Amino acid sequence: MTHTPPHIMIRADAFADLGGGHIMRCLSLARWLAAQDCRVAFACAPGSADLVPALARSGFAVLDAHGNRDLPLPDGWPARADAVFVDLYSSDASDEVALRARAGAVVAIEDLDGRHHNCDLLVDPGAGRSADLYRGRVPPDCRVLAGPGFALLRDEFAAARADSLARRARQIAPPRHVLVSMGLTDIGGISERIARLVVNALPDATVEIILGPRAPSLPALRTLAASQPRLELGIDVDDMARRMSQADIAIGAGGGTALERCVLGLPSVAIILAANQRPATLYLARTGALLAIDTIDAVENELPGLLARMTPERCAALSKTAASVCDGKGAERVGRALLELVNGNRPETRNHD
């Protein structure tokens, strides 16, 4: 029988108030799957590729999806994809049932508490999460992959891990290079507020701000950088692992980007930008993997004090604990589990070793 490659759709959206993190993590999985000779395409809310330039230049087909149950397929694909990977906060189990008309298997990734799913494989990469949390909320035969070991991070982070950890083991001076990365969409224009606070709190440090081309802070930050030589801007960068590896400390959002920093052992302050980030971020803070600020409104009051606590000794302790959280190989682990599921469903592979 002629082998046909697996056809896998990814259903994820980006919005200005949601950010682009869902699509960015799905891109990590898509790249791994494509390297295994899978056919991969995205179905997203209109405008998602504009908000996430990395999706637009990824080379993957991007189709407009109108609603949680809409799953358009590229021309030339079979009538049903082998699987759909769903990364949507607004979907529920009934939507996943509907998607089965267009895909042989349903895989969902979850960051929220309390939702029920009708999927064959569920991924919850949150810190402190376990499969037991999903008893009674997924079908009995659904496989659950839980914990930061399954975080969908780009392979560049795992590749940079050893050198980054070695650099931190040698670091004995106070922080001199601060990386600020609050997400591509810069929710609420928070990047400018943080930049001003850090420049004032750490007068000897270089402050590097990473943001997207449509970030609301960008005009004000360009003006500030013109008069402040210690402030550097990185717009729509594609080498975050390198930049994180070179930073002494970081200030960033909770969620998946906090786990990127953990892979590299980067001491950080995580600012919770959305309710779904709170449980995992606070768990990481309790275990000593990072320092946390619970709300955007608390940034002005709390950030200067937290930066003052970033002594070499505190940074070393944060780095060691952060590095123990995950190794950056979650996309491969999830990808292998997805292909096991797909191959088990396909007639051409069902009776072969």
Separation of alpha carbons 37 and 275, rounded Å: 37
**Distance (Å, whole) CA 200 – CA 150:** 38
Residue 162 · residue 184 · CB < 8 Å: no
Q: Does 260 appear as a known binding residue?
A: yes
**Would you call 22 a catalytic residue per the annotation?**
yes
Phi and psi of 234, rounded to 5°?
Answer: -120, 115
Token pair 């399954």: residue: 150
What value, to the nearest 5°, has the Cα angle with vertex 112 and ends 109 and 118? 50
Annotated catalytic residue within 22, 117, 177, 352: 22
Residue type, 302: E
CA 333 to chain centroid: 15
Is 96 annotated to bind a ligand? Reply is: no
Distance, in Å, from the CA atom of 149 to the CA atom of 326, rounded to the nearest integer, reads 5
CA distance 327 to 158: 6
Q: DSSP class of residue 19?
A: B
Do 11 and 86 meet the contact criterion of CB atoms below 8 Å apart?
A: yes
Beta bridge partners of residue 233, listed in sequence order: 209
- 231 phi and psi angles, rounded to 5 deg: -100, 125
E strand intervals along the chain: 7-12, 39-44, 61-64, 83-87, 106-109, 121-124, 143-146, 177-181, 206-211, 231-235, 249-253, 268-271, 291-293
Binding positions are: 154, 260
Binding positions for substrate are: 154, 260
Active site residues: 22
